[in-house]
Amino acid sequence: MDKILRTENLCKYYGSGENEVRAVQNANIDIQKGEFVAIVGKSGSGKSTLLHMLGGLDTPTSGKVLIRGKDIFSYKEDALAVFRRRKIGFIFQSFNLVSSINVWENIVLPIGLDGRKADEAFVMDIVKTLGLEKKLHNLPNTLSGGQQQRVAIARALASRPDILFADEPTGNLDSRTSDEVIALLKMSVEKYGQTLVMITHDEDIAQIADRILVIEDGKVEELR
Amino acid sequence: MKMITKLALSNNKKNKTRSILIMLSIFLTTVLLSAIATFGYGQIKFQSANAEEFYGSYYGSYAGVTEDQIGEMEKRSEFDRIGRAATIGTIENARSISMVWMDNETRDLANLDRQLQEGAFPEQENEIAGQKAMFERIGYPDVKVGDKVNIRFRRNTHETYQEKEFLVSGIMSQTVKEQENQSYTAYVSKACYESLYAPEERAYTIYFSLSDSVDVNSSTLEMTIKDLAEECGINPEYAFDNMYYSMWVLDPGMEMIVGCIVVALIVVFFAVMVIYNIFQVGLIQKIQEYGKIKALGATKKQMKKLVFREGMLLTIISIPAGLIVGTTVSIGFMNSWLSQSTTLGNQDVVQVNMVSIPLLLLCAAASAIAVWAALKRPMKVISRISPVEAIRFQGSQKKNKGLRRGRKQMGVRQLTQANMSMNRKRTITTIISMGLSCVLFVVAANFTGNVSTRYDARKQVPYGQFQIDLTYSKADTAYPENNLDAILKANPLDEELVEQIRKIDAVTDIKIRYMMYAYDQNGNLQSIGVLNKEQFDDEEYQGSLKGEVDYETAAKNGDILYGWSYFIEESGYDLGDTVTMTMGDAGGEARFQGTMTGAFGSSNYDWIITDEAYDQLGLSGKSIGTIWVDCRPQDCTDVQNQLEDLLTDKQHYEFSTYQGALETSESSLGMFETLAYGFLLLVGLIAFMNMANTIIISIITRKRELGVMQALGMTNSQMNSMLRNEGVLFTAGSILVSLLVGMPAGYALFCYGREHGYFGLDVYHIPVIEIAAMIIILTALQISLSFILSRNIKKESIVERIRYQE
């Protein structure tokens, strides 16, 4: 199968000496194209740190992250930013929409930052898939949590990235909305042939993933 | 209680940027206030301590008083001391040198004795005293007490000069006024006066002081002495009050006090605005923190106290520091002014202690009150906020319908626009508040920018480096050859001279102005300026015009204009009247008839016609009234020597240099300029504090959003350009506001200043350089600030920023 993401002895340590915290230790992960991988772990187990490193937001203490065989930390800062907006989509727990622009503008922002024109038909398709077509002119703070997260999903999908990272996407949502959002997320990932790596502490949500990785005290193990 | 102070202190420590900015603003405000107060106080004290020294102790003077009228004055109890003086005549010279006698009482009242450098005032009929420079002028360089000098003088312009031998009894120092006007005074004895004037010819100038029983202050003095003059049978027109003495001694420095208070109030107002803005903007981001404290059980009163103490703690260091710096600056300035000033340099002035502790305490209180006033609203906001609301508070979430039309495609530019219009109200209030703090700068610049030594000097010498003017008299019956008509017919400044000047190597340009003489209806000699378009327009630019003043119209219709709008009645004509005169110059005489359509403010001539109107007179040769010679500044000495050589055998001219005019102007305006620009600088700094704060806060509060955008793939250069665009927009907006409000206000202030005769203010011109400097500095500061801030933000990783405030 097409290997899209691989890590080699990925480590992230904070502090030194007695205060050293080993957030991620020697993680070796392989993710294939089209896979839906859930990373589960308790609060403080290092799952967010791992995800941030996989997405190039945080730099590792040692080790490598290879996306399509390319070490992403070999890029310079600005080149990495360009790489991120072209190849990676993020979905955050707190949605992180830009408050001053409307739903549509939020969705096409990463494409705009790349200096490209958004493929309006494709974006509209995503919008319809996520049921946002009536909210396009709304500002983010007028939307419910679930709606905001759907906008965030649309934003992540719009630039046709190689891989999607979701950091507890349902952490700020109630359980019903949460199920709804996860269903939509899984459905659109499948529809657009996306690879998804999702952090969650919710066992039920993890169950719908193709693979589950468990992280405990910085050590990553395959659960399934 | 102690807990709250501790909390306030740690809050201040945490919000370091805000604290530093506020401390700087308070510091600068206090510097300004204490500098103004100390300077004003020092001036008032200094002037009243030295008023008698500078201005004499007489209350006023009456001119043209007869012996009988003096008798009347002596009978009245209102007069305390009465001194006599009289003008004997003028000494023959190109400069005006008057010959006067003053009795002991007058010399004492006018404080003249301090000008005596050596020797004594004349007692004997043949004694004379005067300045060294004066003796030099009349051909006695290096004169000493006891020297014999021959002096040609006459009593008035209707008499011929007589020569008399005098013995020099004393040498006097020169006052600045005399130096500037290049006018001199020679003092002779009473015996000399009485020998030259028969008893019935004698008329005195009386210097007097009033007794304490007369209740006067500086505003009633003039009326009082005029009333007294009338009662003694003296023409009140000839009564003059000793304005400066009354101003400083009778009621000390009201004008200075009012001026200082007004400026101080303006400073306080702007300080309040800036500090308020810094607090207000800073609070929005900290509102959650305050909510937590409230949730933990702080009462409304305690919340108010907390904010209050946060503000007041910041004054602890900045107010005393400001007082010290402000006072030091003021004293330093005053000392350098005293040592530079030629008015006072050679005299023993009474030094005064400029520091007034009560005044400084008042300044400190004013600064503290400014902080308190700025804190009032934030205190209210914080105390009223409910804990739940505060904890949930996520920045200013105004639900303005919640819709936005938006754009199909997004980019950095659209993002900036969206951000601005999203926070439209905040953007506008910020721009206005930043603009208003620049307003003070623009207003002050309108004032100071128009006080220009170079401009002042250019009024004396409008073109080039040198100016050669004809000098003439208009009513010398004894020596008619000194009158304008005779001089112009002889034409001393002729085209030949111009050609010779042109041949001087270093001379780059020459300009010429022609003039004529004329006899008016009453046969009085008048001077006529013949102006070409450029000169006409320049004269017009000086302002204070009356009627219609336009070169094209005047040239086409052959109109005539009066030279002094203020004295237009003295022309004997009204606007629109037809003026008929015989005009003449080196080319002969001709009859002129034209309409008086207007008047210039203050030209050098009685009347002005255009060069085209002159041509219509059909005369054969023009007479030059003024020659201007230009050269490169480094060639000045050389050119000046050659010009002086060319002029040695000429008469009836006056030679002046631009450099000389500039020096005179600098000595009188320099200190005012330094003062004004110092003020401008401090005001500019305060305005920038406000701006810096706004930019810093606007970036800090969006730290997280910026982080998100970077996570989504915004590059550093894109972020930089976004922040820069925002800053530029803020700057441009502020500059626009400051100009829209500041220019009219500044112009009004300028007009007020001109009307009240503040020095150096004459013609309004937009202070382009100052405003350009402000724009450049603000833009540069703003760009470097966004640059530093975005670098500062980058110090934190994206992950940290995304988590910020979560």
Domain annotation covers residue A67: no
- Return d(Cα B145, Cα A20) in angstroms, integer: 97
- CA separation for the pair A187, B547 (Å, rounded): 87
Please calculate the CA angle A39-A45-A51 and round it to the nearest 5 degrees.
45
For chain A, the average pLDDT equals 88
pLDDT at position B389: 67
Q: Which of A92, A112, A141 sits opposite B802 (nearest CB)?
A: A92
- pLDDT the model gives residue B176: 56
Instruction: Give chain A's length.
Output: 224
CA distances in angstroms from B657 to A67, B142, B506, B631, B670, listed in the order given? 81, 25, 16, 12, 19
| Best mutation target, A51, A82, A96, to test chain B (most B CBs within 10 A) | A96
**Nearest CB to B406; choose among A101, A114, A118:** A101
Q: At what angle do helices B453-460 and B658-700 cross, to 10 degrees?
A: 150
| Phi, psi angles (nearest 5°) of residue B153 | -145, 165
Q: How far is A48 from chain B (nearest CA, A)?
A: 10
CB B415 to CB A142 under 8 A? no
Within-domain flag for A180 = yes
Asked if the Cβ–Cβ distance from A141 to B798 is below 8 Å, we say no
pLDDT at B568: 77
Cβ–Cβ contacts within 10 Å for residue B353, how many? 10
State how far residue B420 is from chain A, nearest Cα, in angstroms.
8
Whole-angstrom distance, CA of residue A193 vs CA of residue B567: 95
- Both tokens assigned to B778: 């603000």
pLDDT per residue as tens digits for the range A17-75: 888 888 889 889 999 988 999 999 888 788 888 988 998 888 899 999 999 888 999 98
Closest residue in A to B711 (Cα–Cα): A57
Are B76 and B231 spatial neighbours (Cβ–Cβ below 8 Å)?
yes
Report pLDDT digits (tens) over B562-614: 888 777 777 778 888 888 888 888 878 888 888 888 888 778 888 888 888 88
CA distance B361 to B368: 10
Distance CA B183, CA B94 (A): 10
- Coil, strand or helix at B436: helix
- The residues, any chain, with a CB within 8 Å of residue B525's CB and separated by 6 or more, are B474, B475, B483, B484, B485, B517, B518, B519
User: Residues A168-176: what's their mean pLDDT?
Assistant: 84
Quick one: pLDDT at residue A5?
Answer: 92
**Which residues of A make CB contacts under 8 Å with B?**
52, 55, 57-59, 77-78, 81-86, 90, 92, 94, 96, 98-102, 104-105, 108-115, 117-118, 120, 136-139, 141-142, 155
The torsion angles phi and psi of B442, rounded to 5 degrees, stand at -65, -40
Q: Which two tokens stand for residue B163?
A: 């020569």
The residue ranges of every structural domain in chain B are 1-46+251-397, 60-241, 410-458+662-806, 472-651
With CA atoms as reference, report the closest residue to A7 among A65, A71, A75.
A65
Using only the alpha carbons of chain A, give its radius of gyration.
17
CB-closest option in B406, B716, B802 to A137: B406
* CA–CA distance, B303 with A194 (Å, rounded to integer): 52
Stretches in chain B below the pLDDT threshold 70: 1, 94-95, 174-183, 251-253, 255-256, 281-282, 284-285, 340-351, 388-401, 426, 452, 542-543, 667-673, 755-762, 803-806
Inter-residue contact B115 to B173 (CB < 8 Å): yes
In a domain, residue A14? The reply is no
Residue A200 β-bridge partners: A40
| B404 near A CB under 8 A | yes
In a domain, A11, yes or no: no
B284 in A contact zone (CB under 8 Å): no
Q: Which residue has the tokens 């043949």?
A: B126
**Could you tell me the two tokens for A201?**
């502490």
Nearest residue, CB atoms, B715 vs list A81, A96, A136:
A81
pLDDT at B806: 39
Query: What is the complex's ipTM, to 2 decimals?
Result: 0.84
Contact flag A58-B798 (C-beta cutoff 8 Å): yes
What distance in Å separates the CA atoms of residue B289 and residue B283, rounded to the nearest whole number? 9
Secondary structure (3-state) at B722: helix
Inter-chain touch B418–A115, beta carbons under 8 Å? no
Question: Which pLDDT does position A196 carry in this prediction?
Answer: 92
CATH number, residue A208: 3.40.50.300
| Per-residue confidence (pLDDT) for residue B345, from 0 to 100 | 45
Chain A contacts of B704, Cβ < 8 Å? 96
* CA Rg value for chain B: 35
Tokens of A26: 């020697």
- Say if A162 falls within a structural domain: yes
For A181, the domain range is 33-59+82-222
- Report percent pLDDT > 70 for chain A: 99
Q: Which H or E run contains B279?
A: helix B254-295
Chain B 506-565, CB below 8 Å of chain A: which residues? none
Pairs of CB atoms within 8 A across A/B: 125
pLDDT at residue B401 in the model: 60
Closest by CA position to A94, among listed B801, B387, B715, B722: B801
- Give the pTM: 0.61
pLDDT, residue B469, reads 86
pLDDT in tens, A132-155: 889 899 888 888 888 998 899 999
Total domains in the fold of chain A:
1
